[in-house]
């Protein structure tokens, strides 16, 4: 016998309408704020209060998710010896990637970014936030069953996290060591949780640099079919 399904339960939407001119002004100000976001690999070791990291995680966790299962755990690390352990494991994997596994077409697009296996940011940044995606959930009867659209859900949550960090005047980097199974082991997460992103968070180093990139034009990224 299956578990009894919950009945729908609805409450009124909390929404207050904004005047059109104010809408445009808010839309413009968010755009200009987000346009200035950049990913840097150069972090200062200056301390960042735990409260700010907590708020970024709370904000990220407002993301919509498949069947509202919220299939994520954010593990925030400031412990230096743990960061060192993670850096060593990440660099070991990355060395193999850059020296042995990297396909030529991938090398072509990474070259302008100047990345290599050395991951100073993991120990430089005051906080490391690792996003784990839950591939399964535990039902109330104790059985494990799948989550739904967990990649999409966690991708959205990560986007909101990155926006929250930028909004508070800090920087982050969406680092994806590959493979990243070692993070589950080091951080002692359960089998059904898969590390998805490793995000150092902090102030940029005083001499922080970013690749000289431009973004695709609006025309390149959009198409309208108006009625
Ligand atoms: N995971 C490696 C390689 C890498 C891959 C992509 I796609 C990037 O945008 C940047 C790096 C690394 O972190 O160095």
Q: Give 35-56 pLDDT, tens digit per residue.
A: 999 999 999 999 999 999 999 9
Q: What are phi and psi of 14, to 5 degrees?
A: -90, 100
Instruction: Tell how far CA 209 is from the center of its chain.
Output: 21
pLDDT recorded at residue 6: 85
pLDDT tops 50 at residue 82? yes
Q: At residue 58, does pLDDT exceed 60?
A: yes
Distances (CA, A) of 72 to 62, 131, 132: 11, 7, 6
Instruction: Tell me which DSSP letter residue 182 carries.
Output: H
pLDDT at 2 over 90: no
Is the pTM higher than 0.85? yes
Task: Tell me how far apart the alpha carbons of residues 105 and 175 are, in angstroms, rounded to a whole number.
Answer: 20
Q: Which residue has the tokens 């799948």?
A: 146
> Using one digit for the tens of pLDDT, what is the confidence trace for 185-215?
999 999 999 999 999 999 999 999 999 999 9
Cα 96 to middle of ligand 1, angstroms: 13
Specify the pLDDT at position 1: 45
pLDDT (0 to 100) of residue 20: 98
* Mean pLDDT across the chain: 96
CA distance 135 to 71: 7
By C-alpha distance, which of 164, 180, 198 is closest to 53? Answer: 164
Among 102, 110, 174, 210, say which to mutate for ligand 1: greatest number of ligand atoms within 8 Å of CB. 110
How much distance in Å is there from the Cα of 174 to the middle of ligand 1? Answer: 9
Summarize pLDDT for 114-146 with one digit per residue, the tens: 999 999 999 999 999 999 999 999 999 999 999
pLDDT of residue 61: 99
Q: Count of CB atoms within 10 A of residue 212's CB?
A: 6
Calpha distance 120→153 (Å, rounded) = 29
């Amino acid at each position: 016998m299956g578990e009894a399904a919950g009945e729908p339960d609805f409450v009124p939407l909390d929404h207050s309408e904004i005047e059109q001119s104010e809408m445009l002004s808010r839309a413009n100000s968010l755009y200009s704020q987000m346009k200035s976001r950049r990913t840097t690999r150069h972090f200062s070791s200056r301390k960042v209060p735990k409260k700010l990291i907590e708020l970024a995680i709370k904000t990220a966790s407002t993301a919509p998710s498949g069947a509202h299962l919220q299939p994520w755990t954010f593990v925030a690390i400031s412990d230096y010896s743990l960061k060192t352990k993670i850096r060593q494991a990440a660099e070991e994997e990355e060395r193999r990637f850059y020296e042995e596994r990297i396909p030529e077409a991938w090398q072509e697009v990474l070259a302008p970014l100047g990345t290599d296996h050395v991951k100073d940011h993991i120990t430089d940044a005051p906080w490391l936030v690792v996003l784990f995606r839950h591939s399964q959930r535990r039902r109330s009867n104790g059985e494990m069953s799948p989550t739904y659209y967990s990649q999409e859900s966690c991708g959205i949550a990560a986007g909101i996290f990155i926006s929250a960090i930028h909004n508070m005047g800090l920087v982050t980097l969406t680092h994806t060591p590959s493979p990243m199974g070692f993070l589950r082991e080091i951080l002692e997460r359960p089998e059904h949780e898969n590390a998805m992103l490793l995000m150092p968070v902090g102030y940029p180093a005083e001499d922080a640099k970013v690749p000289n990139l431009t973004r695709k034009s609006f025309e390149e990224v959009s198409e309208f079919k108006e009625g």
